[in-house]
Amino acid sequence: MVGSELEKLLYTRPVPDTPKQQLAALLRWAKGSKDTVARELGVSRRMVQRWTARKGSARAKPSVRHAALIETQVRERWQPLVRARRRAAAEQQGLVVHTRARFGFEAGPGSSDDPRQRLLTVPVPGEVARELFSAWEAGAPDSQHKVILGRALGHVYFRAAGRRADTLQVKLGEVDFIEFGLA
């Protein structure tokens, strides 16, 4: 969930999501050469022709393995300059995190540490963006992203950037939705 939202932040246009649209993008980048696309995907030219046939009845669907390969190829090549520019901006200026999630606490005696659902829109610094992108690139699970975000939101929002509740430890639990924006 967090990784896919981070990826959305990097693009200005949505990535093609159907095999037909993805193959059209690959063909556009290969200047219409089905041979080039076939070499990139490790299939025959005839297979690419079947996948891109104009008639719906003649068109074959790529196998699950080939569909995943096509999607990977498109995602790697989709808006590379925009992606680099937006990532650099996020790492330098920070992110705005908009989420509705359940936050739990480890606090001192006499306070309630029961998890509560909160709706937050909070700017976080660029260091957090760098850490999130590094974890995303390394293929970290969603739980790792939640730990990073819980620590960051705890510092910025709940502890007011170090001005109160120094011992409060924030745990990010169930996330209903999360969106990222550039600060």
> According to the model, what pLDDT value does residue 175 have?
85
> According to the model, what pLDDT value does residue 110 have?
61
Examine the pLDDT at 158 and tell me if it is beyond 80.
no
Examine the pLDDT at 160 and tell me if it is beyond 70.
no
> According to the model, what pLDDT value does residue 128 have?
92
Examine the pLDDT at 167 and tell me if it is beyond 70.
no
Q: What percent of the chain has pLDDT over 70?
A: 89
- The answer to whether the beta carbons of residues 59 and 53 sit under 8 Å apart is yes
> According to the model, what pLDDT value does residue 162 have?
62
Of the pLDDT bands very low, low, confident and very high (cuts 50, 70, 90), residue 154 is: confident
Give the full edge-to-edge strand order of the sheet including 95-106. Answer: 116-124, 95-106, 169-182
Rounded CA-CA distance 101/104 in Å is: 10
| Strand spans (E) along 10-155 | 95-106, 116-124
Nearest Cα neighbor of 43 from 4, 81, 70, 83 is 70
pTM: 0.74
> According to the model, what pLDDT value does residue 115 have?
76
Q: What is the pLDDT of residues 52-102, one digit of tens each?
A: 988 877 788 999 999 999 999 999 899 999 999 999 999 999 999 999 988
- The answer to whether the beta carbons of residues 5 and 64 sit under 8 Å apart is no
Q: What is the pLDDT of residues 16-26, one digit of tens each?
A: 999 999 999 99
Provide DSSP, 143-175.
HHHHHHHHHHHIIIIISGGGTS-TT-EEEEEEE
- Region 1-17 average pLDDT: 88
Q: Report strand pairing: 116-124 vs 95-106.
A: antiparallel
Nearest Cα neighbor of 15 from 84, 81, 78 is 78
CA dihedral 169, 177, 131, 147 (to 10 degrees): 30
Of the pLDDT bands very low, low, confident and very high (cuts 50, 70, 90), residue 106 is: low
